[in-house]
Structure 1
Amino acid sequence: RKKTWYVCHNRDPTAYRYQFQDDPFLSPRTSSEFTLFSLSQESGRSAAKFFINNNPKLFTKDFAEPHIPCLMPETVSLLLEEVSEEALKERIHLRRVTAAVDMYDQLLQAGTAVSMETTHDLLDLIALYCDRNPAEDGGPQTESSESGEEAKKKKGRFRQASYFLNATWKENNNAERIFNLLSEKDTRCYAALIRGMVRHGAYARAFSLYTDMLNNRITGDIHIFNALISAASEVREQYNERWDLITELLKQMNQQKIQPTLQTFNSVLKALRRCGFLAKTQALHTLSEMKALGIAPSLASFNHILVVFFRPGKLRSSGPGNVDILQEIMSEISGMSFTCQDPDDVYFFCTAMKICLDNKDLELGYKVHALVEVGENRRLVGDPYQQSIYYGRFFNLLCMMEHADVVLKWYKRLIPSVFKISQLRSYCVFILFLLLFTPQQ
């Protein structure tokens, strides 16, 4: 029903976003106001949710018809206090890392055997949150350590040195201790630790544990190989050594009869971004191999290809034919509707529009934006920060290359519904454009 309504009703370009329409007077007009308003809204929701969840006895009446579970208090307090496997499962479900480890130790001291399935879940929990409760760091970080130039710049401004120290995998932590206590270790146990080590920066230890797994004649799984491929560039210095390691991992996958997935190929393409002169040739070969296996590339796949071929600082000096790769990609995916299959999918449109802007290719910029407007592709432009970057680049391209009347049409279409001119460069470009090209009365 929601999709049908979305298709039948066009977006009102003069209206603010739905989330800001409750109070038109306070609707944000700049990017900074947008951020402040959004954070204030989310802060209020979080405060209300915290109060409801911590005082469930005050909110027992359910007035909603039909029942809406998300509006009722969630179970956030521990109900089982006795030492049992059910109590351990409850702590794992509530993501109480410290409490779950304590309960596991009490079960071992009492001589109670813990099922392998519960042990798997416990190892996954500890490895995911790096042996800390989620509240201590605001939740797990993404596995990607290189998820986009703009995102790194944005996040890098606010991170302190203590963040990097806290996010590091510590040797002999509870995950490793529990792992070493197991009499029988299977693939899932190794996968939990290897993925956790890669996620939290212990790349050399991850490969060491993988070698130990092979020595014990235990077969890996697709998650182990995906994690190791993404970490290959961190444990080798030379470009050819990095690619040799990736190739060796792929050969071992084939020997163990493990079929690669979309994430496998995306991990290879992302690793190639740090393989220097080998990147371009091997990236195209990887993309061809991907299609030969019947695996459709995602937007993240194409984004990695663009980053390989368009290095920062070399876009303008690479010649008139330097947009051929993007032209081929747009010819292949034009008119397609995408769903998010990889966390890096949201960086494609920003990268593509940057190439169009730096090469002053208006026609290609229109093709990229036309793809954004297909189906629900607009969701894949990214968070509000990335959206401001994308639309800012698109608007700058219009101001530089398009006629005045066309730019004004786009202005009415994009502002304020999806974009706000708050960045100094965009604002100055637009004002200069109006002064130069708007007819005098």
Structure 2
Amino acid sequence: MKTFSSQKNSSEEIIIPDAIPRYKILSIKGPTDILKALASIVEKDHTAPHYRFVDDPYLTPVTNIDKRSYALAKESGRIAARYFVETYPDLFFRDYSEPKIEAFTYKEIYEESMDFEIDDLRKSISRCDVRNSIICYQKLSQLNIEIDQCILLDLLDLVCFYNCEDEQLINEEENFFQRQKIPIKNIWKDNGFAENLFETIRPKSDRTYSAIIMGMAKHHQNERAFAYYRQAIDSNMRLNTLAFNALIDIVQDMHIESEKRWETIENLLKTMALKRLKPDLGTLNSTLRQLSRFKFWNRMMETTSKVFNELAFKFGIEPSLATYLYLLRIFYRSKNSQSSLIYDIMHKIGQRRFEPKDGNDGSVSNEREFLFQKKSQTFFTPTFLRWTTKSLSLCLSILNKNQEMEFGWRIIKKMCIIPNLLDEPDSKALIEYCLNGIKSKNHHYTINCLNCCKKIGKSDVIDSIKKELQTTTLNANIRYQSDSVFPNFK
């Protein structure tokens, strides 16, 4: 603390307090919290183009052909830039970025003629640099330099995961426009560096077997993965949970009959119990994923319920969005499914926020839209599940959260058509739907919803939207359309 005296009056002093860190005042926990707070006050622009396109009225593509060409051209430029960075890394050693991103920094290319130390091997492994790690290890082995066991295990994990190759960049635009499915085939390098390293490590441990099994399963060397699994069990090894999850994922490629597939999965789960291994979310999702691929198996529903109750409730595993996706695929495989599971799932999800924990977590929205479309075509049959306003309003609330105007309008039409509803529709969901239509400038959805509310006597919804329209600057078109609902609206 500093004190300053005034020249005019020596008795007056200016006291400068100590600086208070900003994070203590604003309760900031991370470096991006301020940006998140600023972003939360800006509404989403629903009329803006996709993020991969330039937000410019003259440069934004309109037709599908232009969008495809634009996206592929952008991806081509990204690949070309990456090629020059990887081919001539010595030209990009200057990095002025803050904070520095390790993946974009200068990458040294190792050669066999260079001299290496243990720290070089440790650094290349930490950067997931497969090629340099292999060269460094081979040179150290030729010089008979002793390498720590932990470093060898880290190297084994690295080469098994990447199949002794540097990671290939995922071209998002190219995969987005891929029309054909890539066939699953065995790409594991037999008798390669990974297997040779596995044989040289002494003594064998649980981690060494787990690494080689997960690597072979990931790269579809299924038979040898199970061979190493049986070898590990015979040697009384205790594999980790990830290794069992990887084996469950490849059961479909090992057997054709559903009964044999389930028998193999059940044996793997029983072995985990004998080894006192606690299953995790990956175990639950891998098992349900395999069950969703079974065809013409009469024990499907019973087994799925048993697995979900055993893993999710007994071991306290919190399901992810992909878990619900597999359940929907299992229980709604038939067109005339009578299950009400979709309502239970939507009630369970509610307004919760999920973090991605599975690779298929992002596919739940598409599956949900498909089921809504299928149900909207079939639920008028007498044998189909009875709809209630509670279930319809819940569906509408979920759709409002995701700005799904078209599917929301289908739900509202059902509210107007079905004669035997048990209670009145939820006004809050209807008001939220109308407001979404106003904000996204889809005014025809708002007008249609208000007309339905007029038919079923939801005057509170009409009054609420009328007040909103009076305080909103609207064009002549929406004002003209609103006359059908409020004749005296000005």
Instruction: State the TM bucket, normalised to the shorter chain.
Output: 0.7 to 0.9
Q: Give the Cα separation in 2 of the matches to 1:39 and 1:414.
A: 31
Is 1:284 matched with 2:317? no
Contact 1:52 1:73 in 2 (8 A): no
Contact 2:160 2:215 in 1 (8 A): yes
Q: Select 1:230's aligned residue among 249, 268, 276.
A: 249
Q: Give the Cα separation in 2 of the matches to 1:100 and 1:204.
A: 28
Q: Give the Cα separation in 2 of the matches to 1:33 and 1:20.
A: 11
Q: Give the Cα separation in 2 of the matches to 1:172 and 1:263.
A: 29
1:68, CA displacement in angstroms? 3.2
Q: Higher relative contact order by CA 8 Å / sep ≥ 6: 1 or 2?
A: 1
Residue in structure 1 matched with residue 485 of structure 2 by the alignment: none
Q: Select 1:189's aligned residue among 204, 208, 214.
A: 208
- Over aligned residue pairs, what C-alpha RMSD do you find? 4.0
- The residue identity in structure 1 corresponding to 2:194 is A
Contact 1:269 1:305 in 2 (8 A): yes
- The residue identity in structure 2 corresponding to 1:272 is L
More helix by share: 1
Residue in structure 1 matched with residue 360 of structure 2 by the alignment: 344
Residue in structure 2 matched with residue 84 of structure 1 by the alignment: 117
Q: Select 1:255's aligned residue among 269, 274, 295.
A: 274
Residue in structure 2 matched with residue 218 of structure 1 by the alignment: 237
Contact 1:229 1:249 in 2 (8 A): yes
SS at match of 2:376: coil
Residue in structure 1 matched with residue 344 of structure 2 by the alignment: 328
Q: Give the Cα separation in 1 of the matches to 2:75 and 2:405.
A: 25
Is 1:37 matched with 2:70? yes
Contact 2:89 2:107 in 1 (8 A): no
Q: Give the Cα separation in 2 of the matches to 1:82 and 1:47.
A: 32
Is 1:241 matched with 2:260? yes
Residue in structure 1 matched with residue 56 of structure 2 by the alignment: 23
Contact 1:280 1:309 in 2 (8 A): yes
Structure 2: 5+ residue stretches without partners: 1-33, 380-388, 417-432, 443-480, 482-490
Q: Using a 3 Å threshold, how does the CA distance of structure 1 residues 40 and 370 change in structure 2: closer, same or farther?
A: farther
- The residue identity in structure 1 corresponding to 2:233 is L
SS at match of 1:24: coil
Q: Give the Cα separation in 1 of the matches to 2:93 and 2:117.
A: 30
Q: Give the Cα separation in 2 of the matches to 1:198 and 1:414.
A: 50
Residue in structure 2 matched with residue 303 of structure 1 by the alignment: 325
Residue in structure 1 matched with residue 371 of structure 2 by the alignment: 355
Contact 1:240 1:278 in 2 (8 A): no
Contact 2:399 2:408 in 1 (8 A): no
Contact 2:61 2:67 in 1 (8 A): yes
- The residue identity in structure 2 corresponding to 1:28 is P
Is 1:69 matched with 2:92? no
Superposition pairs of residues 135-146 of structure 1, within 5 angstroms: 135=168, 138=169
Q: Give the Cα separation in 2 of the matches to 1:99 and 1:194.
A: 24
TM value normalised by structure 1: 0.72
TM value normalised by structure 2: 0.65
Q: Give the Cα separation in 2 of the matches to 1:249 and 1:158.
A: 30
SS at match of 2:47: coil
SS at match of 1:134: coil
Residue in structure 1 matched with residue 190 of structure 2 by the alignment: 171
Range that drifts further, 277-286 or 336-345: 277-286
Contact 1:236 1:242 in 2 (8 A): yes
Residue in structure 1 matched with residue 315 of structure 2 by the alignment: 293
Q: Give the Cα separation in 2 of the matches to 1:29 and 1:412.
A: 22
Range that drifts further, 297-306 or 276-285: 276-285
Percent of residue pairs identical: 24
Larger radius of gyration: 2
SS at match of 1:343: coil
Residue in structure 2 matched with residue 106 of structure 1 by the alignment: 139
SS at match of 1:339: coil
Q: Using a 3 Å threshold, how does the CA distance of structure 1 residues 86 and 373 change in structure 2: closer, same or farther?
A: farther
Q: Give the Cα separation in 2 of the matches to 1:6 and 1:84.
A: 47
- What count of residue pairs does the alignment treat as equivalent? 377
Residue in structure 1 matched with residue 24 of structure 2 by the alignment: none
1:15, CA displacement in angstroms? 2.9
Q: Give the Cα separation in 2 of the matches to 1:152 and 1:20.
A: 17
Contact 2:281 2:318 in 1 (8 A): yes
1:343, CA displacement in angstroms? 0.8
Q: Using a 3 Å threshold, how does the CA distance of structure 1 residues 152 and 252 change in structure 2: closer, same or farther?
A: farther
Is 1:371 matched with 2:398? yes
1:197, CA displacement in angstroms? 0.8
- The residue identity in structure 1 corresponding to 2:325 is N
- The residue identity in structure 2 corresponding to 1:179 is F
Q: Using a 3 Å threshold, how does the CA distance of structure 1 residues 277 and 5 change in structure 2: closer, same or farther?
A: farther
- The residue identity in structure 1 corresponding to 2:307 is T
SS at match of 2:298: helix
Q: Using a 3 Å threshold, how does the CA distance of structure 1 residues 218 and 352 change in structure 2: closer, same or farther?
A: same
Q: Give the Cα separation in 2 of the matches to 1:192 and 1:257.
A: 19
Contact 1:272 1:308 in 2 (8 A): yes
Cα distance per residue 1:8-62 (max 9 Å; x no partner): 2222233334554553311132455444434444544554566567456667473
Contact 2:214 2:243 in 1 (8 A): yes
Q: Give the Cα separation in 1 of the matches to 2:103 and 2:248.
A: 43
Contact 1:78 1:91 in 2 (8 A): no
Q: Using a 3 Å threshold, how does the CA distance of structure 1 residues 354 and 397 change in structure 2: closer, same or farther?
A: farther
- The residue identity in structure 2 corresponding to 1:413 is S
Q: Give the Cα separation in 2 of the matches to 1:51 and 1:274.
A: 43
Cα distance per residue 1:178-205 (max 9 Å; x no partner): 1112221222211211111111111121
Range that drifts further, 240-249 or 334-343: 240-249
